[in-house]
Amino acid sequence: MNNKRREFLKIAGLSALAGLGAPAAVNMLVRGPGMAHASSGHGASSEHGGGHGEEKPAGVQHGIVIDVRKFAEDKELARKCIDACHSIHNVPDYGNKKDEIKWIWTEGYEHAFTEHSHYKRNAALHEMPIITMCNHCANPPCVRACPTKATFKSKENGAILMDFHRCIGCRFCMAACPYGARSFNWRSPREKDANGNFKYIKQVNSEFPTRMRGVVEKCNLCAERLAVGLLPACVEACGDTKAMVFGDLNDPNSEISTVLNENFTIQRKPALGTQPSLFYII
Amino acid sequence: MIEKALSGSSLYKGWMLFLLAIMGVGGICYLQQWNYGLGITGMSRDVSWGLYISQFTFLVGVAAGGLMLVLPYYIHHYKDFGRITILGEFMAIAAVAMCLMFILADLGQPMRALNVMLHPTPNSMLFWDMIVLNGYLFLNLICGWGVLHAEYKGVKYANWLKPLIYLSIPWAVSIHTVTAFLYCGLPGRHFWLTAILAPRFLASAFAAGPALLMIVALIMKKTTKFDIGDVAKNKLVTIIGYASLINFFFIGMEFFVAYYSNIPGHKHTLDYLFWGLEGHNNLVPWMRASVLFGLIGIPLLFIGRAKKSDLGIGLACAFLFLCMWIDKGLGLVLGGFVPSPLEYVTEYVPSAVELGITAAVWATGFFILTLLYKIAIEVKLESEA
């Protein structure tokens, strides 16, 4: 083969390869595989706090409206929610802040809503316990950051889930989450005492896996309970108080849509464009 | 060629043994981390990255700094860098090797590291960082080794190396740009959320990398027959000096934006780093020292050159290297976590085990560096003789 032909074939082959690969790569980059079903996001920010030209929501996006007033009325309620969640999900309690793992917890108003002004707020507001957990964002920065798709957005209901078996423990998602919703297993939660009992999990729920050390975990919106037709544990713990209303944000006839329509609600850090699926009635 | 690393003076052997000892101690430390988990470090829920990732970030800069030696020689045919280009490439190899070790040390599940390749995720900047870092490692291995081996054989290097050498130049920029993207693309971390982060990284890289090289070169001048020459040395001073000045200029811009705009979120971390926040001020002496080292280092560098004082230049480079190491190897990563997204101030102090592992990775890096430099300068001296 003469040199010219060889050169030509080389260039032709390379350009064909580049031509084949480029559009797919560009597509992946622009939309991202994790983002491919971003269309299941809700149109929340066009209704709640601005944003322009949002994609029309489609599919199911589960969310929760949290009525903070109800939690202020019943001081025990938040504790019930937290205990229900943490016991069902085998969340360990190490009794120190450094190793702490939490899926749902309460914050003071100034910590939950850092971007709001706290100047001259009424004292009662500062005493209100604000239930805090993963926001199951329609546009989740953690999913964008994860290098292995170990954290991903559920196609069924828009919840942000974790694959504990794929997570490499790089903690990029923890840096990416603007809500501090993610915890890391700094040590093994399966550690046992001399009698063979778990040291840090009071009563193991055999229906849900315990984790191994070195992986990230967080609220999963009770994916395992939703799958069998139950409500998320925290919502169920609230009973008939309506302190928490759960449902599909994209269904205009759902209870949660009605509640959102009838009340003034706020989201945490809406300016970041994450489109949280948690709404608060203060 | 490798045989040149196997024999040497007692100073060489002693130094390598010293590094091996540190690596041994670090290995034991890593075993402990392996058995217990990352909880053995000082990291916590609020400060979820510590010394490992901050060292990694800094060393990406040292690796990228090699560009400042490769570019003048291969693109501008600046012949006086002929003797040190290989040093830049080999320093990049050692630095990237350290980067990869620090990332592995930081993983909660290191055995799953290959998941990044098994499940490629182009929307994650960490995926791209894996690609550019490994790519840069191989580019420098191939180019550096290839060119040196040709010199060893007394022939011109193969033509196919040329495109790889040219590719390594933008590639060096890419490693530090993508590393900056790890940080500056995260919503809710105000300190990192700045478009100038990648330029700042590059400026400090182009100062810190050549500064380290200068120190090593001056040590080699004392301990071996290898001298990089006054012309190359003086040009390096110019590069280090200007890069340091640009780095300081960029830091100044961060200060202006934060304090003139007066937006609390933008000020918090700078407050924490330089003045302390809510009574927490672990990093304040470090950050102030960093600024001071820079203020001493830059003039000393140019004075050293004017007075033809190797000691002056070496000291200045040490000051500047430390200045950048504190700024990027401590403040930038650790500071980004304070305050937390929920505006709590949690401080981080590395544990002894963590320090041991960190020291061991640095020792491994210097071990690789010494090995490669030993080979390089012996080949150079032989071919010139």
Q: Do A186 and B188 touch (CB under 8 A)?
A: no
Kindly tell me if the per-residue pLDDT of A55 is higher than 90.
Answer: no
Whether the CB of B195 is below 8 Å from some CB of chain A: the reply is no
Phi and psi (nearest 5°) for B86? -60, -35
Query: What mean pLDDT is reported for chain A?
Result: 86
Number of domains in chain B: 1
Residue A44 has a pLDDT of: 44
List of chain B residues whose C-beta atoms are within 8 Å of the C-beta of residue A184: 38, 45, 48, 108
Residue A19 has a pLDDT of: 58
The per-residue pLDDT string of chain B (385 residues; one tens digit each, 9 = 90 and over) reads 888 888 888 999 999 999 999 999 999 999 999 999 999 999 999 999 999 999 999 999 999 998 898 888 888 888 888 888 889 999 999 999 999 999 999 999 999 999 999 999 999 999 999 999 999 999 999 999 999 999 888 888 899 999 999 999 999 999 999 999 999 999 989 999 999 999 999 999 999 999 999 999 999 999 888 888 899 999 999 999 999 999 999 999 999 999 999 999 999 999 999 999 999 999 999 999 999 999 999 999 999 999 999 999 999 999 999 999 999 999 999 999 999 999 999 999 999 999 999 999 999 999 999 999 999 998 988 887 7
Mutate to test the interface with A, among B106, B124, B192, B278 (most CBs of A within 10 A): B124
For A27, which residue in chain B has the nearest alpha carbon?
A: B122
Phi and psi (nearest 5°) for A280? -120, 135
pLDDT in tens, A131-183: 999 999 999 999 999 999 999 999 999 999 999 999 999 999 999 999 999 99
The encoded tokens of residue A68 equal: 């903070």
Residue B111 has a pLDDT of: 95
Q: Biggest alpha carbon distance in chain A? A: 87
Which residue in this structure is represented by tokens 């924490």?
B272
Map residue A160 onto helix, strand or coil: strand
pTM of the model: 0.89
State how far residue A99 is from chain B, nearest Cα, in angstroms. 6
Q: Do A141 and B188 touch (CB under 8 A)?
A: yes
Higher per-residue confidence, A29 vs B221? B221
List of chain B residues whose C-beta atoms are within 8 Å of the C-beta of residue A141: 186-188
d(CA B317, CA B314): 5
State how far residue A268 is from chain B, nearest Cα, in angstroms. 11
> Cis peptide before B339, with omega less than 30 degrees from 0?
yes
In which element (H, E) is residue A14 found?
helix A3-31
pLDDT in tens, A229-256: 999 999 999 999 999 999 999 999 999 9
Kindly tell me if the per-residue pLDDT of A47 is higher than 60.
Answer: no
Domains of chain A, with CATH numbers? 32-281 (3.30.70.20)
Residue B367 has a pLDDT of: 97
Kindly tell me if the per-residue pLDDT of A40 is higher than 70.
Answer: no
d(CA B274, CA A153): 39
Q: Do A178 and B341 touch (CB under 8 A)?
A: yes
Residue pairs between chains A and B whose CB atoms are closer than 8 Å? 155
Do residues A198 and B360 make contact, with C-beta atoms less than 8 angstroms apart? Answer: no
Do residues A275 and A141 make contact, with C-beta atoms less than 8 angstroms apart? Answer: no
Strand A151-153 relative to strand A160-162: parallel, antiparallel, unpaired?
Answer: antiparallel
Which candidate, A279, A241, A275, A273, places its Cα nearest to that of A259? A279
pLDDT in tens, A68-107: 999 999 989 999 999 999 999 999 999 999 999 999 999 9
Do residues A215 and A164 make contact, with C-beta atoms less than 8 angstroms apart? Answer: yes
pLDDT in tens, B71-121: 888 888 888 888 888 899 999 999 999 999 999 999 999 999 999 999 999
State how far residue A231 is from chain B, nearest Cα, in angstroms. 28
CATH number at residue B309: 1.20.1630.10
Phi and psi (nearest 5°) for A254? -75, 160
Q: What range does the domain containing B346 cover?
A: 2-384
List of chain B residues whose C-beta atoms are within 8 Å of the C-beta of residue A168: 107-110, 112-113, 115-116
Q: Do A97 and B344 touch (CB under 8 A)?
A: no
Q: What is the DSSP letter of B330?
A: I
Asked if the ipTM is above 0.85, the reply is: yes
Half-sphere exposure of A268 (CA within 13 A, CB side): 31
Question: Angle at CA B335, nearest 5°, toward B329 and B340?
Answer: 145
Write the residue in B108, B183, B188 that is nearest to A215 by C-beta: B108
Phi and psi (nearest 5°) for A243? -65, -25
In which element (H, E) is residue A62 found?
strand A62-67
Kindly tell me if the per-residue pLDDT of A48 is higher than 70.
Answer: no
Half-sphere exposure of B359 (CA within 13 A, CB side): 19
Whether the CB of B282 is below 8 Å from some CB of chain A: the reply is no
